[in-house]
Amino acid sequence: MKSEILSLKDWALYYASLGLAVFPLKPKDKAPATSNGCKGATTNVNQIKKWWDKNSDYNIGIATGKISGGLVVIDLDEDDEKGKHGYETLKDWQKENGDLPETWQSITGRGGYHLFYIDQNINSNNDSRKLSRRNRKRLHGQNTSPERG
C-alpha cells in the first residue's frame, strides 16, 4: 500500500484484505469501542465500513490468533521508570533461543515495539501461551494497529 495519507477506515480495510481481523477501538485509545471487543473482530468489509462510518476516528484493533491467520504479536515494553526494557529482554531471550526472523514492526504510543509474526500452528483464537518460562511476554488477544497506536 502506498504511503499516502489514508483514513483509519482505509487502513482497517487494508488490514482486513491481508486476512487480519479488525475491530474498532475508542479514538486515541486501546479500549474496544464495541461490547464484543476483539471477539467481534472481522475481515467482513461491510461490517468494517459500518463501524468506521459510525465514527471515522475509531482506532484500529487487530485480533491475534487463528482468526487472523495465526497472528502473534510480541509486545516489547520500554519504560525506564518501571524498569521495563523489552528490546534488552528480547536480546537476552535470543541469546538462549536463537534469533527471531525479521518481521513487520511498529512503535507503540509509549515508545515500545510490537513485532508481528504468523504462526500457522496456532489452533485457537487469541492463544495466550507463554513463549518460554523465563520470558514474560505473552501473546495478546488484541493489538493496536501499527498505523495509529
Q: What is the pLDDT of residue 67?
A: 94
Q: What's the mean pLDDT when you consider all of the chain?
A: 82
Query: How far is residue 24 from each of residues 7, 82, 112, measured CA to CA in Å?
Result: 13, 29, 22
* β-pairing verdict for 142-144 and 113-118: unpaired
What single DSSP character describes residue 115? E
Cα 106 from Cα 123, distance rounded (Å)? 25
Domain total in the chain: 1
pTM of the model: 0.76
**pLDDT tens for each residue of 28-71:** 898 999 999 999 999 999 999 999 999 999 999 999 999 999 99
Domain enclosing residue 71, as ranges = 1-149
Do the Cβ atoms of 103 and 117 come closer than 8 Å? yes
